[in-house]
Amino acid sequence: MATREAALRIALPERRARSPWAMAFRQLRKNRLAMASAIFIILLALSAIFANYIAPYPYDKANLRDYYALPGKKYLAGADFMGRDILSRTIYGTRVSISVAVVAATVSLVVGISYGLISGYFGGRIDELMMRVVDFLYGLPTLIVVILMQVYFKALARRGGATGLTGLFINANKAMGGLLFVFIAMGLVNWITMARITRGQVLSYKEKEFIEAARMVGASTPRIIFRHLLPNVLGPCIVQETLSIPGYILTEAFLSFIGLGVDPPTPSWGIMIQEGYQGLRSYPHVILTPSIALTITVLAFNFLGDGLRDALDPRLYE
């Protein structure tokens, strides 16, 4: 008797029942690089929210006498060509980057996942039609469209006095430091990938028994989609989105660099790099801080995304 129980205990080791999310989180915790990146990102978000309290100077306080000041006691990271403190501007710059990441990722996830869920679940002609639209949009070089949009809205804003819908957009844009269109543009760029991934996942889960069981029990269609399909679809989507966030941040920096991004004096790392590059020969310290901030942020999101992908990969379950 005792030996039989002992034998069973060896053959079937007890395992605490955990949800897949908890197991994935445990796996993620083992990945020190990903954890460090996650902590860094949280710190970034905190400094974006509390920038007012952390930054030593306001981001637009121009003190022309301190033109290109070197890093020292007064300005910890130096001052730019208008005497504004670089450290403070970098801290305020996290606002722009984090907002871009959050807004773009959310828009992309919401639009993409919904689209993919509907298209995959209903199949047939609806699916065909929706995928045609996706194919068309996929061929369109979205960055070009983004640039066109930005050119148009900036031209309108300069002219002033636009009424109606465009006027509403322009005013909202001004309230956000010139960022609204950048946000919309980013969301527009990536939702297609999200929709495709979701649709693929839905197609593979649609025929599984638990969906059929739910249908037989009388679950309504929305309930099946949201309660049963969605949780299974979320995993790869979140991984993909986390890995896309560096792209959003870099695109925003790029747009600001060429002058199509935020309006000065709102600080964005891209605009700071552009300003710093102009004084590169004589004052190289100006470009240092925003560059480091940008690089480390991109690295952090990359590592976190890789870690998430490894954690959520079903093949690596113990």
Partner 1 sequence: MSRYIVRRILASIPVLLALTFAVFALMRAIPGGPFEFIGDKSLPPSVVKNLRAKYHLDDPLWKQFTDYVWDLLHGDFGPSYQYRNLTVNDIIGTSLPVSAQLGAMALALALFIGIPAGVLAALKQNSIVDYIATFLAIIGVAIPSMVMGPLLIWIFALKLKWFPVALWGAERPFILGFIPKPTPKFFIHAVLPVTALGARLSASIARLTRASLLQVIREDYIRTARAKGLAEWLVMVRHALKNGLIPVVTILGPMFAAILTGTFIVETIFGIPGMGKYFVTSIGNRDYPLIVGITLIYGVFLVIANLMVDITYAWLDPRIRYQ
CA–CA gap between residue 105 and residue 99 (Å, rounded):
10
Nearer to partner 1 (CB atom), residue 234 or residue 250:
250
Least Cβ distance, residue 22 to partner 1 (angstroms): 28
Q: Where are the alpha helices (DSSP H) in 207-229?
A: 209-217, 221-223
Least Cβ distance, residue 57 to partner 1 (angstroms): 24
Nearer to partner 1 (CB atom), residue 57 or residue 266:
266
Site for partner 1 in 106-145 (CB under 8 A): 135-136, 139-141, 143-145
CA–CA gap between residue 66 and residue 82 (Å, rounded):
8
Site for partner 1 in 252-311 (CB under 8 A): 253-254, 257-260, 270, 273-274, 276-277, 280-281, 284, 287, 291, 294-296, 298-299, 302
316 binds partner 1 (CB under 8 A): no
Contacts of 99 (CB under 8 A, 6+ apart): 48, 179, 183
Burial class (CB in 10 A: 0-12, 13-18, 19+), 218: exposed
- Stretch near partner 1 under the rule CB under 8 A, chosen from 58-66, 102-110, 116-124, 149-157: 149-157
What one-character DSSP code corresponds to residue 67? T
- Stretch near partner 1 under the rule CB under 8 A, chosen from 34-42, 64-72, 116-124, 247-255: 247-255
CA–CA gap between residue 104 and residue 251 (Å, rounded):
11
Contact with partner 1 (CB under 8 A) among 49, 61, 72, 152 = 152
Contact with partner 1 (CB under 8 A) among 151, 168, 213, 316 = 151
CA–CA gap between residue 25 and residue 308 (Å, rounded):
9
CA–CA gap between residue 318 and residue 315 (Å, rounded):
9
CA–CA gap between residue 60 and residue 279 (Å, rounded):
19
For residue 79, the SS3 value is strand
Q: Which residues bind partner 1 (CB under 8 A)?
A: 135-136, 139-141, 143-145, 147-148, 151-152, 155-156, 159, 246, 250, 253-254, 257-260, 270, 273-274, 276-277, 280-281, 284, 287, 291, 294-296, 298-299, 302
